[in-house]
Amino acid sequence: MLFKGKRLIVDEVDFFPEKNMSPFNNDQTLNLQMDHHHHHVDTCLDLLTKISPSNKPDDVESDATIKNNNKYVALTAELHQMNIENQHLRDLVEKLRINYKDLEKRVVWLKQKHYKHEKNDEPSEERKNMVELIECDRKTGKIGNGVILDRIDMDDNEISQAKTTTPSSNKVPRLNSDQASESMMKKARVSVRAKSEASMISDGCQWRKYGQKMAKGNPHPRAYYRCTMGTTCPVRKQVQRCADDSSVLVTTYEGQHDHPLPPAAKTMASTTTSAASMLLSGPMISADGLIESSSLPCSHNITLSASAPFPTITLDLTKTPTNNSSHGQFNIFQPILPHKFMSAPNIFGMDQKGSFADTVSAAATALTSDPKFPTALVAAITSIIGSNSNINKNDIANDIKRDHQCNNS
DNA sequence: CGCCTTTGACCGGCGC
DNA sequence: GCGCCGGTCAAAGGCG
């Protein structure tokens, strides 16, 4: 960048951090303000180029050059200004994001605290683990991503109370946040109830039976299956007929697949994972460990239980829902499911629509030989979806009926 | 031969 | 400590 007769090298402004070091005289003033905090130049240009009347005619060319240079400098200044505003907006967004996360954690924690207080004064195993995690993180000065609570949400009294009521806490293996969340995810169970005469519903996965036991209070044996699609896959499932109704087959899934899955299997996997995520978020569980049947329009289809040894969510496909909403339709996910389940991508990288569509498809793949079952399921699913969903209900119905025909053929 | 089911033994947690 | 119970292991046998 050259002024004829006077040299201006804008690219070197960074090399003159002090305004007074500017190599220009008063006829051409360039004010540079260094913003050291943001480590970039906050350029406030006040370029007052005074052309003397005694300029020679051959300076006409330099006039155009000076105008262009003025434009360039002005645009550069504007760009810098926009960068600054952009940075400020980014900072603002980041602060809002942090505040939102804090509030989200606080809400979850308060609801869990409320639930624990009503149900049991003793801290749960998960809470004990969390206490240890918090103590560990206090020492290390960091909070893991997977920790539901953080130091903001639990004061010293609560920690000491939990510790004093946990005399055997040293027996609890110390887990990091990822391990803790993984452990909780593994413990969470998803149970599916479906009418079936078959010994096992088809869910697209390959299973190997590794045990069978007679469970107390049920004349029917409980079969234990392990996923064989991956050599180290930790997913297990239990299959047992309902004690009250032998025509109902109860399939309970536990764990996450650690290998690629065929579409039919992926659907069930995403279902159980989403349901487990929903379950582990926990705050919708009532004091008795179950959702109040009167509070949910279709609670006869989904049941949450925290009273069992493992937190379990039960999807009941044996009953057709009744449209008892004032609008003739209901959407169970709107009032009860946590934000995470509604909008966040699940661990399989599918969005909510895909996940739920897969859920529907998973149910379809689980259909048994009962010819009435597809119709009932379509009715149930379409009523669950509600009017706000973008999912094409006719496509779902067609998928279910097609899958049912395939299963029966 | 490999994969599967069967089934009794074994293990750990929990309550008494 | 003991027994109960749920869950898992592993040997034995069946099947294609």
pLDDT digits (tens, 9 = 90+) for A107-125: 666 656 555 554 444 444 4
Are the beta carbons of A247 and A229 closer than 8 angstroms?
Answer: no
Task: Answer yes or no: pTM beyond 0.85.
Answer: no
Reduce the DSSP state of residue A331 to 3 states and report it. coil
Is any atom of nucleic acid chain B found less than 7 Å from the CB of residue A221? Answer: no
Measured to protein CB atoms, the chain C nucleotides within 7 Å are: 4-10
Across residues A218-234, what is the average pLDDT? 88
pLDDT of residue A222: 93
Q: Phi then psi for A180, rounded to 5 degrees?
A: -65, -50
How many C-beta atoms surround the C-beta of residue A161 within 10 A? 15
Torsion of CA A381, A387, A391, A393, to 10 degrees: 50
**Angstrom distance, A227 CA to C6 C1':** 20
Judge whether residue A268 has pLDDT over 50: yes
Q: What is the mean pLDDT of residues A44-65?
A: 49
The tokens for A279 are 């379950």
pLDDT of residue A306: 56
A222 beta partners? A213, A240
Which residue's CA shows the smallest distance to C1' of B4? A208
The closest of A332, A339, A345, A275 to A104, measured between CA atoms, is: A339
φ, ψ of residue A227 in degrees (nearest 5):
-70, 130
Model pLDDT, residue A319: 64
Q: Which of residues 154-213 of A touch strand B (CB under 7 A)?
A: 206-213
Looking at chain A, the whole-number percentage of residues with pLDDT higher than 70 is 30
> Using one digit for the tens of pLDDT, what is the confidence trace for A50-59?
334 444 445 5
- Residue at minimum CA to C1' distance from nucleotide B5: A209
Dist. CA A100–CA A103, nearest whole Å: 5
Q: Which nucleotide is nearest to A207 (CA to C1')?
A: B4
**CA atom of A210 to C1′ atom of C11, Å:** 13
Listed in sequence order, the DSSP H helices in A123-250 are 125-140, 156-164, 177-187
A254 nearest nucleotide via C1' and CA: C7
> What's the burial of A138, exposed, middle or buried (CB within 10 Å: 0-12/13-18/19+)?
middle
Is the confidence at residue A225, as pLDDT, over 90? yes
Tokens standing for A377? 């399921």
Determine the Cα–Cα distance for residues A188 and A310; give it in Å rounded to an integer.
6
Looking at every residue in chain A, the average pLDDT score rounds to 55
Cβ-based neighbours of A181, under 8 Å, separated by 6 or more: A146, A280
Q: How far is the CA of A223 from the C1' of B5 (A)?
A: 11
Q: For chain A, percent helix, then strand, then coil, each to nearest 5? A: 45, 15, 40
Tell me how many helices (H) and strands (E) chain A has.
10, 9
Question: Considering only CA atoms, which of A266, A285, A273, A274 is closest in space to residue A341?
Answer: A274
Q: In the prediction, which pLDDT does A78 show?
A: 83
Identify the top-confidence range among A43-52, A90-99, A282-291, A293-302. A90-99
